A and B are shown apart, each in its own frame.
Chain A
């Protein structure tokens, strides 16, 4: 470190007072790295990049977010609709959380496969587990912030975990809530902690890298570097390799951000939190599912140890047991490459975790309960029985004398694993059990596919249907009249639509509140003064707000389209429908309060299109989709540009990487 010299006087002046340059030289440039690292070693730096993206997007989201229960949901929707590029920041952040966990899970499994937790890397491993725990806490609290139904009920369920502890449990839960249920104090403190914890993670990452640089990187062979011939300097070899990996990863990440931004999310979270109604099937985010399955696997009470407490203890133990791993696995050989038995059990364990994840995302019923219990037992057996036993009976293959062989190109494999995990993350598309297949329009919805956009003519017709029919009962509180300019209405038409309704004005000089005509800047005025009035006027059933309907139901557009056309005049045999309800094939439970309003020629379209039932349904679904995702057109066209750019950049980085590495291979 002391041999650092520069020709630049300013650099030397700073260096003598604060040795940052020699530190960078030492730990980011010269840092001797095993020459045989494969692509599985990219995931650490990828996770660091992801952490930076999360902090950056999170910071700018926080500038527009309100952590009050009465504002949180709407402030998130304002970010999506009104804040410049707000939709991009939010989708980067929400999908970024899933990406972060994908990267970290691969990073952890890489450590498990190659024995990176073994001496002398135990403390490096511990800090890693601490980062994982901090990520889980951060992710959980972040998911609460949009204050949708899943936010609220996720928060309720997870905080209730602590009630399992005897005597102190209820006090802990009250303390966490700051009240007697999840409410405003809870949301406020979760926001504060969600802002803080990422910086704690940054600190832990610094320690993680410090520990790494002290003991040096493990490698696929799991043997120590024996001399200069085994290592290469970090720069430029691994800087360019990491950058190339980042390029590949960003394309994977951006595919979700621009084309499937709600893939990892739950439709229920586009319904504002309602403390009175739990959604029928609540699931945590996919990255908690294996642990959620372990939590639910315990169903028998034992003396002093009720099932609830067993589950909670098992769930925490499932992570904490990783701390004991360096001693549970006492084999001196690190890499599974030379441990024929361990390698097989590693993959069994991997499959076990995947199955647990699958089970965790499904309702706890039938054979899945038994599967979950078996996999939970196996999870712990892997650590407590198999690993200690293996290290005694296994005969490792002979280790090579030194790090010699060139790296394997695994870029394609990396992408495949990523997609595999993403597909797995698709999990709980809350199955509407017993529902018929959704109807599909004769022509696909115009906005589907990679380049699909909302059809302007259908949007204008859809607004006409909404305006003439739906809006008599349904509100659309998140859309403003001014937004109608985006679907092709002129400024004067927008003004006229707004002026049809009245809203309360500011109090005048005498303090009297009069009504004034609505203006384009006002949100679409609801048909009823409040939810109670709306329910009372509709036979006791509140017509839901339609702003987010297409995003708030699984397969939203198809659901709404099918619902519009799914009425029967008389309920079929064996499906008695209560008085005042109507039979619909696609409504959960079949008994819907809304009558069959859509019929042929219910509107006379201004553009002369024939208003068949199917056409009307198509148009209203198109309009509702625009209302829910007004950014869709801009999002997709930006996505194409981003992908073309990333492809070019990644290709360049790949070529540069080959050029830099060609004499090493």
Chain B
């Protein structure tokens, strides 16, 4: 059988070159084609058009009293909207940002000081921190406390203590009217 295979080899050097060229060209084109063909399969796992279309949420904030928080759903995740008290704003403002794990001023995080909008997902491993309800523990800095692994967030949602690497993210949002926030 080995003889057979040997006999089948092109006899001339010219033939060998031609065969090598065809082999490499075919392999290259075939490999490119296979790669391109895989893309639709991979991309089908990305968010679909209807999922992307649901990427804004309107929140009516007229009924949220100072000191209160509400949790709304945006892209399947909880978003915290807190109507902050003056002392909470003052607490958040007086922090020396140089001491923070992720230095950000409160004014960078809140478009209007009395309204704080945060994605309520702990940046450590994805749990929802406590602190939205009056009876919840709010951690050592009066903001939020993640019960899973003990991360403490302040009244600006910044990480102050515990394993989380960064502040609670601020989603894109805008005040479409004085009493409505559009998230997304």
Interface of A toward B, CB cutoff 8 Å? 30, 32, 56-57, 60, 63-64, 78, 81-86, 88-89, 228, 231-233, 237, 243, 480, 482, 509, 520-521, 645-646, 648-649, 652-653, 655-656, 659-660, 662-664
Contacts and interface: CB of A to CB of B under 8 A. Distances in A.
Contacts of B10: 659, 662-663
Most buried by A among B33, B44, B50: B44
A82 B4 contact: no
B41 A60 contact: yes
A649 B30 contact: yes
B22 A82 contact: no
A480 B48 CA distance: 13
Contacts of B40: 84-85, 88-89
A63 B54 CA distance: 20
A659 B44 contact: no
Contact of A82 (B5, B25, B36, B49): B49
A480 B36 CA distance: 30
Given A237-B8, A659-B15, A89 B44 contact: yes
Nearest to A486: B49
B40 to A, nearest CB: 4
Given A89-B40, A509-B63, A662-B10, A228 B50 contact: no
Contacts of B1: 30, 32, 228, 231, 233
A587 B18 CA distance: 64
Given A84-B40, A84-B43, A659-B22, A652 B29 contact: yes
Contacts of B22: 652, 655-656, 659
B184 to A, nearest CB: 11
B13 interface: no
Contacts of A480: 50, 53
- Nearest 9 CB-CB pairings of A with B: A85-B40, A521-B53, A82-B48, A656-B22, A82-B49, A82-B50, A652-B26, A84-B43, A83-B48
Contact of B19 (A231, A652, A660): A660
B87 interface: no
15 contacts: A63-B44, A82-B48, A82-B51, A84-B43, A228-B1, A228-B3, A233-B4, A233-B5, A646-B33, A649-B30, A652-B22, A655-B22, A656-B23, A656-B26, A663-B10
Interface of A is mostly: helix
Interface in B20-70: 22-23, 25-26, 29-30, 33, 36, 40-41, 43-46, 48-51, 53-54, 63
Nearest to B8: A663
Contacts of A649: 26, 29-30, 33
Contacts of A243: 30
B177 interface: no
A77 to B, nearest CB: 11
Contacts of A237: 8
Contact of B33 (A64, A521, A645, A660): A645
Contacts of B23: 656
A231 B2 CA distance: 11
A84 B18 contact: no
B25 A652 contact: yes
B108 interface: no
Most buried by B among A83, A84, A86, A237: A84
B162 to A, nearest CB: 32
B11 interface: yes
A659 B36 CA distance: 27
A56 B37 CA distance: 12
A655 B20 CA distance: 12
A135 to B, nearest CB: 23
B11 A663 contact: yes
B8 to A, nearest CB: 5
B7 interface: yes
B53 A482 contact: yes
B5 A84 contact: no
Contact of B18 (A32, A56, A659): A659
A659 B25 CA distance: 13
Most buried by B among A32, A64, A663: A663
A480 B30 CA distance: 39
Contact of A521 (B29, B30, B50): B50
Contacts of B48: 64, 78, 82-84, 86
A630 to B, nearest CB: 10
A499 B1 CA distance: 76
Contacts of A83: 44, 48-49
A492 to B, nearest CB: 15
Contacts of B18: 659
B170 to A, nearest CB: 23
A664 B8 contact: yes
A85 B53 contact: no
B41 A656 contact: no
Contacts of B45: 60, 63
Contacts of A56: 41
Contacts of B50: 78, 81-82, 480, 521
B4 A659 contact: no
Contacts of B3: 228
A237 B8 CA distance: 9
B71 to A, nearest CB: 12
A372 B62 CA distance: 75
Contact of B44 (A30, A85, A228, A652): A85
Given A521-B54, A645-B33, A653-B26, A84 B46 contact: yes
Given A81-B49, A648-B29, 5 more contacts: A30-B1, A57-B41, A82-B48, A85-B43, A86-B44
B161 to A, nearest CB: 34
Contacts of B46: 84
Nearest to A520: B53
A32 B4 CA distance: 10
A660 B53 contact: no
A64 B30 contact: no
Contacts of B53: 480, 482, 520-521
Contacts of B26: 649, 652-653, 656
A520 B50 CA distance: 10
Most buried by B among A32, A63, A233: A233
Contacts of A652: 22, 25-26, 29
Contacts of A228: 1, 3-4
B70 to A, nearest CB: 9
B44 to A, nearest CB: 5
B175 to A, nearest CB: 18
A520 B49 CA distance: 12
A263 to B, nearest CB: 21
A97 to B, nearest CB: 18
Nearest to A29: B5
Contacts of A521: 50, 53-54
A232 B30 CA distance: 25
Contact of A660 (B8, B29, B49): B8
Contacts of B15: 659, 662
Nearest to A61: B44
Contacts of A85: 40-41, 43-44
A460 B50 CA distance: 22
